[in-house]
Amino acid sequence: MSRATISQIGYPFAGVVLICVLWAVACSLFKIPEAVLPSPDSVAIAFVDSFGLLLREGWVTLAETVLGFVLAFAVGVPMAVAIANSRPLNLMFYPLLVALQSVPKVALAPIVLVWLGTGLESKLAIVWLVAFFPIIIDTAAGLRATPRDLVQLARSLKASPWQIFYKVQFPAALPFVLTGAKVAITLAVIGAVIGEFMGSSHGLGFLLLSATSQLNTPLAFAALFALSFLGLGVYAVVEIVEVLLARWLPPRAVGH
């Protein structure tokens, strides 16, 4: 194992250990009630005791996150391609997208629930709303950043519009697409939790809200840690996809 790999693993682990130690010392020193801030060992016990429950509810949140993200990606990338390659569409829709991005998605959640109810559809819609904008904006920015010389060279070689997009524009825009996907997948977890807060009987967000209302703070913290692990997991999947794409595309096409 290389020194860089050890550093990448060791420093975050040391940071977590340090935070837990300071957390435990604060709880013991200031006699903080468990209902306000449970000690790390109380949270760990709650996590282990409720592992099955956390796993079941986590699968619900994971399904909402992944399905909403896939929907956002499937809609966002084609729309970004259309906006980036059409000046009228760009002038018509890009300012609207930027304006809509500034609207807090929490404010839209009650409206979505009125339209779609408390089922899976409303959760997917909220996840789509929060994950859609990073994908479309970053992808459009990447397509616009394609060097003009490459596009003109492809045209001089009689390349079709599809060939120009597939072999020139999209590889050049791929770092932006992946960056947008990384941001979107983490926001998708937040969107799923918002949807579960607003109206649901399943998921980690519902479990967190239920535990808080019952003053079961250790379980609430355990649900928070489960959400963190879920977010890290889906982010890691996007990172793996990026590594796999790096093997098939030129080095300039994938970056961090």
Label residue 119 by pLDDT band (50, 70, 90): confident
| CA dist list (Å): 39 to 105, 113, 182, 204, 225 | 33, 36, 32, 21, 14
Give Cβ neighbours of residue 60 (< 8 Å, ≥ 6 apart).
Answer: 202, 203, 204
| CA dist list (Å): 238 to 69, 108, 136, 158, 234 | 11, 27, 17, 35, 7
The dihedral sign for the CA sequence 126, 189, 216, 212: negative
The answer to whether the beta carbons of residues 245 and 179 sit under 8 Å apart is no
Q: Is the pLDDT of residue 230 over 50?
A: yes
Q: What is the pLDDT of residue 5?
A: 62
Query: Model pTM?
Result: 0.86
Question: CATH code for 39-253?
Answer: 1.10.3720.10
DSSP string, 37-74: S--HHHHHHHHHHTHHHHHHHHHHHHHHHHHHHHHHHH
Q: What is the pLDDT of residue 253?
A: 46
Q: Is 147 helix (H, G, I), strand (E, B) or coil?
A: coil
With 0-12 / 13-18 / 19 or more C-beta atoms within 10 angstroms meaning exposed / middle / buried, residue 7 is exposed
Classify the phi-psi angles of 158: left when phi > 0, otherwise alpha if psi is within -120 to 50, otherwise beta.
left
Give 28 or 60, the one with higher predicted confidence: 60
Region 112-136: what's the mean pLDDT?
Answer: 88
Nearest to 84 by CA among 155, 135, 129, 150: 135
Q: What percent of the chain has pLDDT over 70?
A: 93
